[in-house]
Structure 1
Amino acid sequence: MVIASRSKAKLQAAKEQLNGSVSIHVLNTTDEEQVRGFFEEIGSYNHLVISAAETSGGKFLETDSEASRQLFENKFWGQYYAAKYGASQLTANGSITLFSGVVAYKKMVGSAALGAVNAAISNLGQTLALELAPIRVNVVSPGIIDTPSRSKMSLDAREQFYDTIADKLPVKRVGSASDAAQSVLYLIQNTFVTGTVLHVDGGHRLI
């Protein structure tokens, strides 16, 4: 298994949690040449999962344009580069899994830029399923997931946010990292699925 991230500390922590042989690489996915070199270095492999992203939000007229531009750099172009340079190293029966998000489908105040990025990723994944065939390309679109990504919020604020969301969702809870991981495993293992956007959002799109 090969894992890459901008943070060496996160890579070391992940390696300790994973079983088996794990190779770690520090990689900035917004740097096209770094991405190209990374895939040249690792050689042939079976499956590519790209979840790297730094996301942000804010009301459209109040958000600095550069912040929105960086959002595209981090989430869209990072996945674009990884798919572009990673595709040639994939085995014929391999797959690519991209990550979009619920705000591409559920309109929310303060998510204009992020929703646009996520919608672009969903479209990219479905188009690549045609262009890169027989390599399978799919997209996971998660809803609100309880992960360390919201660690900057205070514990009380974070719990209140999750409780508010959970109360509205049909499943009455927010998602977990395990929910997202299971969706990725499904897309990797089911060889008759390609061009699919798999919604893992607890029914968030419906409310």
Structure 2
Amino acid sequence: MNTYEGQRALIVGGTSGVGLATARAFAARGAETIIASRSPHKLQEALAELAPLAGKSSAQALDIRSDTEVEQFAAAAGTFDHVVVSAAETPMGRVDTLTQADAYAAMDSKFWGAYRIARSVSVDPSGSLTLVAGYLSQRPGKATALQSAINAAMEALVRGLALEYAPLRVNAVSPGLLRTPLWDGLDTEARDAMYEAAAARLPVRRVGDPADVSSAVLFLADNPYATGSTVYVDGGGTIA
């Protein structure tokens, strides 16, 4: 297991789900871990979880939908060894029912938010930049055309950035269905039914956890020969 002592890791969206699991993994290996999110309250809760771990942790309020905020943060933050972007708010729905404003907001939050970070934040050329996309890029559903397009765009962005930013390693991780707070809005019965149906369909016969994805992020951060790649951590969802 690699150690990250003496290295700095920025986790954008590090307050819950995949982002928090990734921050926990970096901090446990000794990295100075900075989590960024729009919610000060969530930042403090996440920071309390990271405090007992080996690496020093801190939090930064940041709205990645804002050019100004991202540029100001980047100017003050210095250089990171590893940057992971998992933040996104993407309303779901059919193209003919989702409002145009919601569609623009989804693209702004996930794709352009990651683009702003990649454009502005300084990453050491020997390090890594990892974007969290989603397997819908390969397996769209009946009400996920927009999410499919956004995730596909992020995977394409990664391939281009891997060339433009070389030798910096730029990769994507694309999860399938996970047990995360994203689904907390559903009532318990409906959520459990969704998980059970997905588990029955997937070759691995289970729904994923955030730690399943964070281990893939750490694999890409560790691997000096991986760039321009997308790793699907979806329980076989793209083939089921």
Which TM bucket (shorter chain)? over 0.9
How far 1:92 sits from its partner (Å)? 2.1
Q: 2:44 aligns with which of 6, 12, 15?
A: 12
Partner of 1:169: 202
Equivalent residue pairs, number: 205
| Corresponding position: 1:197 with 2:230 | yes
| Corresponding position: 1:92 with 2:155 | no
Task: Percent identity, please.
Answer: 38
Q: 1:101 aligns with which of 134, 147, 156?
A: 134
Partner of 1:61: 96
| Corresponding position: 1:187 with 2:220 | yes
CA deviations 1:54-85 (Å, max 9, x no partner) are 12211221221111111101100000000000
TM-score (norm. length: structure 1)? 0.97
Partner of 1:72: 107
Residue correspondence of structure 1 range 117-136 to structure 2 within 5 A: 117-136=150-169
Ranges of 4+ aligned residues in structure 1 off by more than 3 Å: none
* Paired amino acid for 1:56: P
SS in 2 for 1:36: helix
Q: CA RMSD in A?
A: 0.9
| Corresponding position: 1:110 with 2:137 | no
How far 1:5 sits from its partner (Å)? 0.2
In 2, Cα distance between equivalents of 1:132 and 1:92: 8
Query: Structure 1: which 5+ runs fail to align?
Result: none
SS in 1 for 2:185: coil
* Paired amino acid for 2:230: V
CA deviations 1:109-153 (Å, max 9, x no partner) are 000111111110000011100000000000010000101111111
TM-score (norm. length: structure 2)? 0.84
Partner of 2:69: 34
SS in 2 for 1:204: coil
Partner of 1:2: 34
* Paired amino acid for 1:57: M
In 2, Cα distance between equivalents of 1:13 and 1:124: 32
CA contact (8 A) 2:90 2:107 kept: no
| Corresponding position: 1:156 with 2:189 | yes
In 2, Cα distance between equivalents of 1:74 and 1:92: 26
Query: Structure 2: which 5+ runs fail to align?
Result: 1-32
* Paired amino acid for 1:12: Q
In 1, Cα distance between equivalents of 2:114 and 2:72: 15
